[in-house]
Amino acid sequence: MANHVLFESDHHRNLLIEDFGSGSMVQANQHLIIDKGRAMILDPGGHKIYSKVLSQTTSEVGTGKLEYIFLSHQDPDIVAAINGWLMTTDATAIAPSLWMRFIPHFGLDDLVASRLRPIDDDGCIMTLGGSELMILPAHFLHSCGNFQVYDATSKILYSGDLGASIGIDYLEVADFDAHIPKMQGFHQRYMTSNAAMRAWARMVESLEIEIIAPQHGAYFRGTMVKRFIDWCASLQCGLDLMSDVYQLPTRRATPS
């Protein structure tokens, strides 16, 4: 199956790798940024898709080098196969500093543990090949230690779980209003609060963004980008909706 090219110039490519998830697993996108033969894979995923994503990555990178594995946060659909990635490549994995002591619980071999490096809370600007990538703080959206990647060359913002949509069969959002029901429930429950959403919207306002590409579901391009940012800024979610949930339960039931 062909991968989807989100951006291409003579030295820079942004690829969306086909979803290999199936069954009960949440659908997930894997993204690859390649500049002058140097590559970064974003949120590579868990064990069931590991070998296929690795072989796709290897063939796309060709004679170049996988330099970085970006882990936006600690969830299993992002991190679970990290030991395999570090054992079979000599890439450096980067992840929020908050999760440095937790990620090894996914079975990180001592041989490769030193190639897992922390990103401090305030993010950073990295070099990939000859291009710059901004590692943006996106904490509490949803994980309390969470980053996004902005690629200034392609003008793509990789937004991780923010922008995720569930149960769809299209890659790009064409009708924003029709798309809202596919993402609203997820954001209302997984995102922390409107305060975090608004702060994020303010931060990304100054960026020139052509595409917002989440880790699950369809991406937003062109006019859909601003619609999505505005939607985030106005969404009541998380604690805005659930502040009264902290009450002792009265219902007797076994999860079934």
Of 75, 99, 159, 211, which lies in the binding site for Fe ion, with binding defined by CB under 5 A? 75
Q: Does residue 19 bind Fe ion (CB under 5 A)? A: no
Which of 75, 151 has the CB closer to Fe ion? 75
Please give the order of strands across the beta sheet that includes 65-70.
4-8, 12-17, 30-35, 38-42, 65-70, 92-96, 116-119
Count the residues of the shown chain that bind Fe ion, applying the rule CB under 5 A. 2
Q: Which residue has the tokens 């690795």?
A: 54
Nearest-5° Cα angle at 196, 184 to 247:
75
Least spacing, CB of residue 161 vs Fe ion, in Å = 4
CA atoms within 13 A on the CB side of 132: 5
Separation of alpha carbons 57 and 68, rounded Å: 12
Q: Does residue 35 bind Fe ion (CB under 5 A)? A: no
Of 74, 148, 161, 224, which lies in the binding site for Fe ion, with binding defined by CB under 5 A? 161
Least spacing, CB of residue 164 vs Fe ion, in Å = 8
| Six-digit token string for 104 | 């090894």
Which of 19, 75 has the CB closer to Fe ion? 75
Q: Does residue 151 bind Fe ion (CB under 5 A)? A: no
Least spacing, CB of residue 93 vs Fe ion, in Å = 17
Separation of alpha carbons 142 and 158, rounded Å: 14
Least spacing, CB of residue 108 vs Fe ion, in Å = 19
Which of 40, 141 has the CB closer to Fe ion? 141
Interface residues toward Fe ion, by CB under 5 A: 75, 161
